[in-house]
Amino acid sequence: MRVGLLTREYPPDVYGGAGVHVEFLARELRPLVDLEVHCWGEGRGVGVVRHRPWTALDTANDALRTFSVDLAMAAGLEGRELVHSHTWYANLAGHVAKMLYGVPHVVTAHSLEPLRPWKAEQLGGGYALSSWAERSAIEAADGVIAVSGAMRTDILDCYPALDPAKVHVVHNGIDTALYRPDRATDVLARTGIDPGRPYVLFVGRITRQKGVPHLLRAVRDIDPAAQVVLCAGAPDTPEIDREFRELFAELSRVREGVHWIPQMLPRADVIQLLTHAAVFACPSVYEPLGIVNLEAMACGTPVVASRVGGIPEVVEDGKTGLLVDLDDDFEDGLARALDAVVGDRETARRMGEAGRERAVGEFGWDAVARRTVRLYEEILKQA
């Protein structure tokens, strides 16, 4: 089966959960299908074709630059029997290839543009274009993969013209041989974290979706013995970057042991930070699944997260962590939950062990790839 996998992110350029998803899905698909990955970047390797925006659009809106990559991808997909796109950055490429070559198009929805109105802050009028591209692709797709049950509901709510029978739930996965506890402490020493004090850890982009300003306000008054470690970078806009910096400076003035790591760390470093965290914090205001929570759980770390989207399908409240309602009391609720986990080491240990067990037992990438290929086969039979 000749499959074209279309994505913005692909190693070494992975900065978010969708990129992690594609990286590991591609690895597991290669033994099962004839796979060609089309992604952003320079050059070409075995089974990977990289595309960059047209130079004539170097100063244009990012949505237009994205569309130029999509057209280049579509031109390179001749001969593929099925195309599978990830995120709006590649959806238009899959949609055009479907029309141009008459092949089925599968979309994996990692998030939905109608539920991310703050993207207008980043893209300006380009948000209307990204929304149009996503809608056009999803409504015409032969199959849509939702990364959680909650995401499936969101897809059908946002796109009621879509046949529900075409929307299939295939959860994100985790490589639990790679994401596993690392008891070394060299990364902690290098980043200035005191291994003798517990710490709350956040890992994610500085974006409205990830809710990091809520966390910065919530941790002001948690147990003063706890450190706060923020692996946070790639701000969406200058405005949210400025807001983050101001909140970080304010937090640093009122408590000790606040660490900000703005650069993207190697995966091995993140795994060590996850392993030693007293608790991992995920304050997202929108999260179709939240693969980073799986990463923390696989490292044996309890999670405190917002009760939104697909997060409750991953984090079992009271068993692998605590969930906090996204309401007017959200920041106070976050603080109480973080304090509860940091202050009870035995419960935190049990939650971490249960999280590791759940990640290993239910979210392996090999199973994700097999379910994906079965969907490909079903769609090709109907084509």
pLDDT at 364: 87
Q: Which amino acid is at 38?
A: H
For residue range 212-222, list pLDDT tens digits in order. Answer: 999 999 999 89
d(CA 120, CA 118): 5
Q: Which residues contact 291 (CB under 8 A, 6 or more apart)?
A: 17, 20, 21, 172, 174
Domains of the chain with bracketed CATH: 2-173+364-382 (3.40.50.2000), 186-362 (3.40.50.2000)
Q: Which residues contact 42 (CB under 8 A, 6 or more apart)?
A: 50, 52
* DSSP codes joined into one string, 344-377: -HHHHHHHHHHHHHHHHHH-BHHHHHHHHHHHHH
Where does residue 99 rank: exposed (0-12), middle (13-18), buried (19+ CB within 10 A)? exposed
Pair 315, 236: CB distance under 8 Å: no
For residues 15-41, average pLDDT: 94
Given a cut of 90, whether residue 44 has pLDDT beyond it is no
Given a cut of 90, whether residue 289 has pLDDT beyond it is no
Q: Choose among 283, 189, 187: nearest CA to 232.
A: 283
- CA torsion 80-84-87-88 (nearest 10°) is 50
Q: Choose among 300, 299, 330, 295: nearest CA to 314.
A: 295
For residue range 256-276, list pLDDT tens digits in order. Answer: 999 999 998 999 999 999 999
Strand order in the sheet with 303-306: 258-261, 227-233, 199-205, 279-282, 303-306, 321-324
pLDDT at 247: 97
For residues 342-368, average pLDDT: 94
pLDDT at 134: 97
Pair 243, 211: CB distance under 8 Å: no
For residue range 94-140, list pLDDT tens digits in order. Answer: 999 999 999 999 999 998 999 988 888 878 899 999 999 999 999 99
Pair 88, 77: CB distance under 8 Å: no
Helix, strand, coil % (nearest 5) of the chain? 50, 20, 35
Given a cut of 90, whether residue 236 has pLDDT beyond it is no
pLDDT at 14: 87
**Among 119-128, 150-159, 278-287, 306-315, the least confident range:** 119-128
For residues 11-19, average pLDDT: 87
- Name the one residue in this structure whose structure tokens are 């005191």: 194
Average pLDDT of the chain?
95
